Amino acid sequence: MLILVSISLILFSAYASLIGYYHRAWKKIPDYVPDSNTNNSLATKVSVIIPVRNEEKNIKYLLDCIFNQSYPKNLFQVIVVNDHSTDNTWNIISTIYYNEMNLRCLNLADYSKNIISNSYKKSAIEIAIGESSGDLIVTTDADCEPQPDWLLTIAAFHQSSNAKFIAAPVKINSTRSFLSVFQTLDFITLQGITGASVFKNMHSMCNGANLAYEKKAFKEVQGFRDIEDIPSGDDMLLMYKIYKKYPDKVFFLKNKNAVVSTLPETSWVGFFNQRIRWASKADKYDDKRIFWTLLLVYVFNLLFAVLLIVSFRNKTYLILLLILLLLKLAIEYPFVKSAARFFNQQKLMAHFALMQPFHIIYIIVIGLFGKLGGYRWKGRKIN
């Protein structure tokens, strides 16, 4: 028993130090406030790139949001790339028109020679960048809703910081369902870790629903070359490539006007497939800092399953499990609440304790299947 208790104390100490580090770093990220004269000095040409597959229900609303951006329309273009949609997506985007907004619609099937095997999204982005006229590339997803000052804030931050890569905040619009609350709290945690890790240059994290990077930097690192055979990773793997060349020019943009909202997965199958897709690239990172971080998080959560199993033979381990669970809750709660406050979702923290046992199971399952199992995404089977 002494050995397992010692292991538990060591793992908790390491995990508590990690979460405490994230919490302190998140609080230290300065809230970006554009200069009052920024609007008059902006001249950055932006290309917004949106890869889409089977998004007939969402794409029109997203394009309406982009059309209503406060950023001058002569300074940005929108490129939508249809990735072999089997619904009415192509018919919608190929016939839509906005007065004054520069909108281009590409069909990925027309670029068959340029498609990277098993990496359709990377192909769509790379082709769109090749067709773009902007100096700053901004990517988002079809099921997202940007704030009216989204592009203005990103362009202003880029101009003031000379950033080569910008990780911007993403928020899930939660409903009242258990699944929605669960994934929203999980996502708030991930966003807090993203901001903290990028701010401290601890490791590379971001979300492809809200990214910006210089086209010049993308070309300098040869785009997705050397990571093209990985189905996922158009965000974090690219981020690390740019980070290696420009370690002091990768930033997290902490500003509420830069937030992009997205929809929660509506089924557990869809949710697990999404998270397995994210986890599947864990061992593909050249950035081993994040690998060891993920390993610590996984092993610490796995410890709870081990303690539960051995408690059937010795009830003392059940007490240890409950103590660790309370300590885990105590160290995580202030950090997640701080991040939730930024996204105006602090009311969800009332469910945080209830979600803890389910979150431990989720981490264990996702980590296992992310390494061993395939997944389905947008109607495709990925192995």
CATH 3.90.550.10 fits 32-169+210-264, yes or no: yes
| Segment 218-222 long-range contacts (CB within 8 Å, at least 24 positions apart) | 218/129, 218/137, 218/242, 220/245, 221/245
Write down the pLDDT at residue 272: 86
Write down the pLDDT at residue 167: 97
Report the candidate in 136, 207, 201, 200 with the shortest Cα–Cα distance to residue 169.
207
User: How do the pLDDT tens digits run along the chain, 383 residues long?
Assistant: 788 889 999 999 999 999 999 999 999 999 999 887 766 678 899 999 999 999 999 999 999 999 999 999 999 999 999 999 999 999 999 999 999 999 999 999 998 777 766 788 999 999 999 999 999 999 999 999 999 999 999 999 999 999 999 999 999 998 889 999 999 999 999 999 999 999 999 888 999 999 999 999 999 999 998 887 777 778 999 999 999 999 999 999 999 999 999 989 889 988 888 888 777 666 666 677 788 898 999 999 999 999 999 999 998 999 999 999 999 999 999 999 999 999 999 999 999 999 999 999 999 998 888 766 566 666 666 65
Domain positions in the chain are: 2-26+287-382, 32-169+210-264
* CA–CA distance, 305 with 365 (Å, rounded to integer): 11
Between the alpha carbon of residue 358 and those of residues 101, 351, 352, 371, the distances in Å are 45, 12, 10, 20
Write down the pLDDT at residue 372: 66
* CA–CA distance, 11 with 324 (Å, rounded to integer): 10
Between the alpha carbon of residue 37 and those of residues 33, 42, 146, 259, the distances in Å are 11, 9, 23, 22
Torsion (CA) 136, 141, 142, 145 in degrees, nearest 10: -80
Write the DSSP assignment of 274-321 as a string of letters.
Answer: HHHHHHTTGGG-S-HHHHHHHHHHHHHHHHHHHHHHHTTT-THHHHHH
Write down the pLDDT at residue 382: 66
Write down the pLDDT at residue 231: 72
* CA–CA distance, 45 with 236 (Å, rounded to integer): 24
Write down the pLDDT at residue 230: 77
Write down the pLDDT at residue 377: 66
Cβ neighbour number for residue 209 with a 10 Å cutoff: 20
